[in-house]
Amino acid sequence: MTEWYRWEEDALLLSLRVQPGARCDEFTGPYGNRQYRVRIHAPPVDGKANRHLTTFLAKEFGVARSAVELVSGITSRDKLFRIQSPGKLPPFLTDKE
C-alpha cells in the first residue's frame, strides 16, 4: 500500500522526495512507500527549486500555480504538497488506482 498520496475531499496531498539540479523535470518512482521521487532542473538556491517544482506540479496536474500549495518542507528534500481539484492525473497516479 502506498502512503505517498491521499485525498482530502477534492484536494490531493502528495508526499515527495525532491532531487534539485537534475537534467530534466520528471517523476521517477516511489521512494520507499511514503514518498514519490521527483527530479527538477532548478537549483536549491533562494527558493528557486520550490517555485520551479510548484510550476511543474501545476502543469502536470492541470491546475493554476495558485492551486498548488507547499504544506511542509520548505528547506528540505522531503516535501508535502496540496493540489486543489487536479484537472488531470499523471500516469503514475492513474496506474495505481
Q: Is 35 helix (H, G, I), strand (E, B) or coil?
A: strand
The answer, yes or no, to whether residue 97 has pLDDT greater than 60, is: no
Please report, for the chain, the start and end positions of each structural domain, with discontinuous segments joined by +: 5-94
pLDDT, tens digit (0-9, with 9 covering 90-100), for 36-54: 999 999 998 988 999 999 9
Predicted TM-score (pTM) of the model is 0.91
Amino acid at position 10, single letter:
D
3.10.20.600, 1.10.3760.10, 3.20.20.60, 3.30.1200.10: CATH of 5-94 = 3.30.1200.10
Report the percent of the chain where pLDDT is more than 70. 95
Distances (CA, A) of 38 to 9, 10, 13, 53: 24, 23, 15, 9
pLDDT, tens digit (0-9, with 9 covering 90-100), for 63-76: 999 999 999 999 99
Confidence of residue 94 (pLDDT cuts 50, 70, 90): confident
